[in-house]
Structure 1
Amino acid sequence: MGTIIKRPIAGGSWAKSRNDQSKPSVRGYDEPYLERANAMRSLGNIQNEPEDGILTSLGYTRADPNVNVAIVGTKSPSHMETNIKQVENDLPISSDVVNELNRRFEKLDTDWEQRT
């Protein structure tokens, strides 16, 4: 038995929430994820957070000791190659970043439902 995390980068929502565009585009399904990310980012910068939001998402997911598998879907072989390199070379991310993300989620959670 193990825990599988599906869509750990949530359509790139955490990375897109850092985007300088006024409203970055996401698929309709990912809009709630982007809204959550924007709310969490509104609390200010996170010290020592990786510049790459995808790396932050992967690092956050892999930091949970209960996670055995993270399934990242993509149509782009180059994105998958980058994700694999990040997991192999750039993890773990700072536990302070993980703790701050958890703190912000708990502070702002207004029945944020689990999406599948």
Structure 2
Amino acid sequence: MICLLSRHKETKTVDIIYAEFIHKMNKKAITIGNILVYKNGKIIYKNAVGLRDIHTMDSLTVDAQFRLASVSKQFTGMSIMKLKQMKKLEYNQTVVSILPKFPYPTIAVKQLLHHTS
């Protein structure tokens, strides 16, 4: 997984940023990936590159889900801490109170941090 978190000059267009992303992927022989450009609270660009399934030759879509395994723990922890800092959640709060469609009504946010859910 590659995350490109850099500040670009305002004069750079999304198309240029996308071309740079594809170039970096090609240099590293990465043939699959998604790109999302987020600015001022809004998604301004999203695209997918590569195949979702090499056996069926299905193309990757921006809605494709990836199995991140243990990598997701860092993202979960960072996201929870940022939301707590912004006073948008509490550790003892249930996840379902934030995400109403979450299928496990008794799981608390702190359990996600401790990886005990």
TM-score relative to the length of structure 1: 0.26
For the pair shown, the structure with the greater C-alpha radius of gyration is 2
Greater share of residues in helix: 1
Higher RCO, 1 or 2 (CA under 8 Å, sep at least 6)?
A: 1
Greater share of residues in strand: 2
TM-score relative to the length of structure 2: 0.26
